[in-house]
C-alpha cells in the first residue's frame, strides 16, 4: 500500500470521526432544547433526581457553545434562537469539511 493511500485512509477516518461527533452533538443540542421546553412547561417532574441529572448533563454539554452565541444575539424577549444558530454553524462546518477541505486532502 502506498503512503498516499494510507494518508487518504487516515484522513477519511479522521473526517468521519469528526462528522460523527458533530452529528451526535446535533442530537444532544436538539434533545437539550426539547428538554428545556418540557421543563419550562412542567411536563416532566422537576423534583425527580434522574430528570435533574439529565438536565444538568444537557446544560453542561451545550451551554459552553451556546453562551457566546447568546452574548452576540440581540434580546428577542423570551425566545432563544441560539440553538438554531449553533445548528446552522454545525451544518456549515460539516458541509465545509466534506465539500471543500476533504477533497483537497484526498
pLDDT in tens, 6-61: 878 888 999 999 999 999 999 999 999 999 999 999 999 989 999 999 999 999 99
Instruction: For residues 10 and 22, give the distance between their C-alpha atoms in angstroms, rounded to a whole number.
Output: 18
- pTM score, whole prediction: 0.88
Position 105 confidence tier, pLDDT thresholds 50, 70, 90: confident
- pLDDT over 60 at 75, yes or no: yes
Residues 97, 14: contact at Cβ < 8 Å? Answer: no
| Best CA proximity match to 73, nearest among 82, 61, 64 | 82
- Written as nine digits, the cell of 43 is 411536563
Amino acid at each position: 500500500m502506498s503512503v498516499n493511500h494510507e494518508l487518504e485512509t487516515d484522513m477519511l477516518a479522521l473526517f468521519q470521526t469528526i462528522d460523527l461527533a458533530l452529528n451526535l452533538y446535533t442530537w444532544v443540542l436538539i434533545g437539550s432544547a426539547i428538554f428545556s421546553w418540557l421543563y419550562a412547561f412542567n411536563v416532566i417532574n422537576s423534583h425527580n433526581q434522574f430528570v435533574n441529572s439529565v438536565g444538568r448533563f444537557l446544560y453542561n454539554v451545550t451551554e459552553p457553545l451556546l453562551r457566546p452565541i447568546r452574548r452576540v444575539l440581540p434580546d428577542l424577549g423570551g425566545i432563544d434562537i441560539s440553538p438554531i444558530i449553533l445548528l446552522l454553524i454545525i451544518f456549515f462546518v460539516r458541509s465545509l469539511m466534506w465539500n471543500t477541505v476533504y477533497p483537497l486532502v484526498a
